[in-house]
Amino acid sequence: MAGVAPADDGAVQREELLELVERFTAEQIIPRAAQYDREDVYPAELVEAMRRLGLFGITVPTAYGGSGLDLLTYTGIVERLAYGWMSVSGFLNTHFMACFLIEHFGTEDQKQRFLPRLASGEIRAAYSLSEPDAGSDVAAIRTRAVRDGDEYVVNGTKMWLTNGREAGLVAMLVKTADVEPSHRGLSVLLLEKPPGATHAGGITVGPNIHKLGYRGIETVELSLVDHRVPVTGLLGGEEHLGFTQMMAAVELGRVNIAARAVGVAQRALDESLRYAQEREAFGRPIAGHQAILFKLAEMGTKVKAARLMARSAAEQKMRGERADLDAGMAKLFCSEVCWEVCQDALRIHGGNGYAADYPIERLYRDAPLMIVGEGTNEIQKLVIGRRLLEEHRA
């Protein structure tokens, strides 16, 4: 398949691109997903095919070799990829967040140095915020970077790195000063490493974390012992802006999670619609029974509402407006809808839904990731509640 042409060339319109991704999903992802998931192996062939399609440069500006497409187009791509296999969409998420950080906060040298290679997929990126004792509480991170001449010496442990082994670039949140409030002492380093290596300099990449779902894509722990990063790797060339920078990227990650959830939920709905018309009980297809019809009606309504909410959040972020409220709402609602729809899909499939021969079993295992990824839904509720109070003070 041909790669994605730059948006300003007008060669590939939004709908044509989405149709291209739909075909890619149908022809290359869906037939292979069950095997990749079962074996929990890195799908190198699919990642290479995504690179050839130009999917790693979708949002990178054309001036830096990307397609320069908007966030709404990107979320449409994510939804379609997740429809085939949710793990595939994960290869884009952290990569996209790192591209966003460099595009919006990086120095011109950092943009010139990294964005063209990220856009082509020559190198892929990871986004590193969480630690063993710090996830939702970002200000509690302990990984420290100490300036030593023209380098930073980094020590600490990072957790839950998606793309962590295969990435050639990691956007990493570190502590560069002890100040109060503590989040003001955080900075972002752009850490380069050899893709696929388990040891490089002071970096050690741990084995894959065995997960309930979201398999095939590697999720690892990354340890740093006196690892040196040039000062040119400080995002934007200025310390103590890391919290604001990373939270801006997290907004996009939450929109991505919402789109992923819609894709998985749509697949669960489609599988249920098909199964309900093929499976017979008491002399007729189960779709003819009111109990099943009611479930299908509720599932379809929830999926449509979730899609509209995900798109609304994407549009708000595209306009350059503050989007933490809408992104948080979309992430919360869409992920919960996905989980509810997958549970109902399993019920409709009965015993077959519990069997690995049917995709519902995989969807059911993948769905919980969206509830805990990019900040748990309990954290989303805190964010949403506080923001609502800000906007509606008595």
CATH number at residue 291: 1.20.140.10
Residues 93 and 216 in one domain: no
Assess whether 130 and 153 both reside in one domain: yes
pTM: 0.94
Sign of CA dihedral 260, 262, 266, 269: positive
Q: Which of 240, 274, 301 is the last residue of a domain?
A: 240
Residue 255: inside a domain, yes or no?
yes
The predicted-structure confidence for 62-77, as pLDDT tens digits, reads as follows: 999 999 999 999 999 9
Question: pLDDT by residue (tens digit) across 207-226?
Answer: 999 999 999 999 999 999 99
CA distance linking residue 317 with residue 250, whole number of Å: 12
Question: Is the separation of the CB atoms in 243 and 186 below 8 Å?
Answer: yes
Q: Please, are residues 187 and 236 in contact by the beta-carbon 8 Å criterion? A: no
Asked if residue 213 belongs to a domain, the reply is yes
Q: Are residues 20 and 95 located together in one domain of the fold? A: yes
Beta carbons of 195 and 168 less than 8 angstroms apart? yes
pLDDT attached to residue 8:
46
pLDDT < 50 positions in the chain: 1-2, 6-11
- CATH code of 153's domain: 2.40.110.10
* Interatomic CA distance for residues 69 and 13, integer angstroms: 10
> Which of 93, 104, 82 minimizes the C-alpha distance to 127?
93
Residues 385 and 328 grouped into a single domain: yes
Q: Based on the fold, state whether residues 225 and 254 are members of the same structural domain.
A: no
CATH, residue 44 = 1.10.540.10
Question: What per-residue confidence (pLDDT) applies to 7?
Answer: 46
Distance, CA of 66 to CA of 54 (rounded, Å): 8
Domain assignment present for 2: no
Say whether both 257 and 382 belong to one domain. yes
d(CA 133, CA 53): 38
3-class DSSP assignment, residue 267: helix
Asked if omega into 181 is within 30° of 0 (cis), the reply is: yes
The type of residue at 270 is D
Residue 291: enclosing H or E segment and its boundaries? helix 290-318
Domain extent, residue 210, equals: 126-240
pLDDT at residue number 2: 47
Examine the domain organization and report whether 11 and 114 are in the same domain. yes
List the one residue out of 5, 72, 90 whose CA is nearest residue 319: 72
When divided into structural domains, the chain yields a total of 3
- Side chain identity at residue 125, one-letter code: A
Q: Kindly state whether residues 258 and 222 are assigned to the same domain.
A: no
CA–CA distance, 207 with 204 (Å, rounded to integer): 10
Residues 268 and 314 grouped into a single domain: yes
CB count in 10 Å sphere of residue 305: 14
Q: Which residues are catalytic?
A: 374
